[in-house]
Amino acid sequence: MGYIGRFAPSPSGPLHLGSLVAAVASYLHARIAGGQWLIRIEDIDPPREAPQASRQILETLAAFELHSDQDILFQSRYFENYLEIANKLLASGQAYRCSCSRQDIRHAGRVTPVGYRYPGTCRTRTIHEQPTAIRVRANQALGSFQDELQGTCRYNIDATTGDYVIFRNDGLPAYHLAVVLDDARQGITHIARGYDLLATTGLHIHLQQTLGLPIPKYAHFPVVVNAAKQKLSKRTGAKAVLPEDARRLAPEILRYLGADPPKSLCGRNPYHLWAWASKM
Ligand code: GLU
């Protein structure tokens, strides 16, 4: 089987060290397998997007010599398709409209390790006064998958998340729907991404099965944390990585991934380091 991997940043701000480590991990995972590596910009949430972030992200990736093997996909161009698929699931009864507010769910839902479980309040409701979200029925959605790094992972969507949102009540597609559709659209066979997304994988597999899409192989690698053991992110104050940081940071990124790059390659164009690491 061929290998097509990807890095799929959301343009909520510039890349930081943690996102670069994720980009390089997925890039090397693809290169070591002799596969292709694609970049996808997950720009489906305008209220959370920073102006210019997509451009900055792409400039930084280019400075790190991380180039997509195919045209870069921008999710904002596929909005109609996400809506069409959500409407199909509504028509087939696999999804339904939900007008519950966060507060309704907090009152009626049970707390689970991944937040409040949606109790299914709107499953039988036919009249909605507020704007509605679209939820997929998670009936008996439990199973397991083999993660290349984390081993056997079990999930039980029904007991944890419950019926889950694929379209939000502000009219925007949810990450889960867009990510699953675009992994299939781009023929992604392998997903190498941070451990912070492991908890969403069962839900993605359920959605792939519901839509009759292929299920890629998954590898969730450790994420970079700060001194307080929080994942680096815009919210936890991670510093932006800029194009001019590429030569200095590339060896550090490899060290985060457990490699010990030779001194002779450090400080040179990162391309040499990736070529070295791909042959390990
Ligand atoms: N866009 C997501 C993020 O930036 C990652 C999506 C994925 O790798 O599945 O967190």
Closest by CA position to 151, among listed 188, 114, 201, 115: 201
For the CA of 22, the closest atom of ligand 1 is: 8
Q: How do residues 173-210 score in pLDDT, each as one tens digit?
A: 999 999 999 999 999 999 999 999 999 999 999 999 99
Task: Note the residue count of the chain.
Answer: 280
Q: What is the residue type of 115?
A: G
Q: What residue has token string 């998958």?
A: 145
Which burial class, exposed, middle or buried, applies to 130 when counting CB atoms under 10 A from its CB (0-12, 13-18, 19+)? exposed
Closest by CA position to 169, among listed 264, 269, 102: 102
Give the distance (Å) from ligand 1 centre to CA of residue 26.
Answer: 12
The pLDDT score that the predictor gives to residue 1 is 62
133-136 and 164-167 as β-strands: parallel, antiparallel, unpaired?
antiparallel
Give the distance (Å) from ligand 1 centre to CA of residue 124.
Answer: 33
The pLDDT score that the predictor gives to residue 82 is 98
Q: What is the DSSP string of 111-162?
A: EETTEEEB--GGGG----SS--EEEE--TT-EEEEEETTTEEEEEEHHHHTB
The pLDDT score that the predictor gives to residue 120 is 92
Q: For the chain, which ranges sit under pLDDT 50? A: none
The pLDDT score that the predictor gives to residue 87 is 97
Residues with Cβ within 8 Å of residue 110, at least 6 apart in sequence: 116, 117, 119
Residues with CB under 6 A from ligand 1: 8-10, 42, 179, 193, 197
The pLDDT score that the predictor gives to residue 126 is 85
Pocket test for ligand 1, best of 75, 179, 224, 234 (most atoms within 8 A of CB): 179
Q: How far apart are CA 209 and CA 206, in angstroms?
A: 5
For the CA of 42, the closest atom of ligand 1 is: 1
For the CA of 179, the closest atom of ligand 1 is: 9
Give the distance (Å) from ligand 1 centre to CA of residue 214.
Answer: 19
For the CA of 200, the closest atom of ligand 1 is: 9
Give the distance (Å) from ligand 1 centre to CA of residue 143.
Answer: 22
Q: How do residues 151-161 score in pLDDT, each as one tens digit?
A: 999 999 998 99
Give the distance (Å) from ligand 1 centre to CA of residue 8.
Answer: 5
